[in-house]
Amino acid sequence: MDIEFKTSKKPVNYKKALCFLRKRVEKVKKGGRELVWFLEHPTTYTAGIRYKEGEILDKSIKIIKTNRGGKITLHNPGQKIVYFVINLNKRKKDIRNLVRQIENIIINFLSIYKIKSYADEKNIGIWVKGKKIAAIGIKVTNWIAYHGCSINIKNNLKEYKKISPCGLNNINITSIKKERKNITDNVNKSLKNVFLKYLNRI
């Protein structure tokens, strides 16, 4: 499996990260290495292709429009972002399976912290007791899948109050810290191990 795991220790500007992703997509189209990238963003509100203006509750915030699936969401410090560029031409050309395996990765990662979570067919993402803990947004071009997922680890959940995240009531959001509080510093290592377990199923 020719795949690069990349970890950024400092928060990465959202637009710069997307630029890097798009360039990597072009490289992968030409046979380059796939990518899984662990990082965080400074506080950033982004809108997917299905967002509605009414989901912006605080009109003073800046929204960055993207070509990913989904609606409006928040990225901020303490939330783990996992971007990937996966070549489905060399794997299963099955987008539903890709989403299912990303869901499995997040669910198994959360189980490390004794958090029982689940996927919802109607509302994409991962949930804990009716509250969303992880978002998934994927774009596919020429069977190259990219963007990824975000998992709330210990981020400030109050910043969700400025939007209707993913079209939801903004109180229905949670994090590992809110659910368990016992967060280790091995988040990236744990995520990588779970990704390695499930990547061969994509």
Instruction: Catalogue the active-site residues.
Output: 166
C-alpha–C-alpha distance, residues 190 and 168, integer Å: 29
Closest C-alpha among 87, 60, 74, 102 to residue 14: 74
C-alpha–C-alpha distance, residues 170 and 159, integer Å: 9
Amino acid at 129: K
Q: What is the DSSP letter of 42?
A: S
Three-state DSSP class for residue 118 = strand
Query: Do 101 and 198 form a contact (C-beta atoms < 8 A)?
Result: yes
- HEC string for 143-193: CEEEEEEEEECCCCHHHHHHECHHHCCCCCECCHHHHCCCCCCCHHHHHHH
C-alpha–C-alpha distance, residues 201 and 199, integer Å: 5
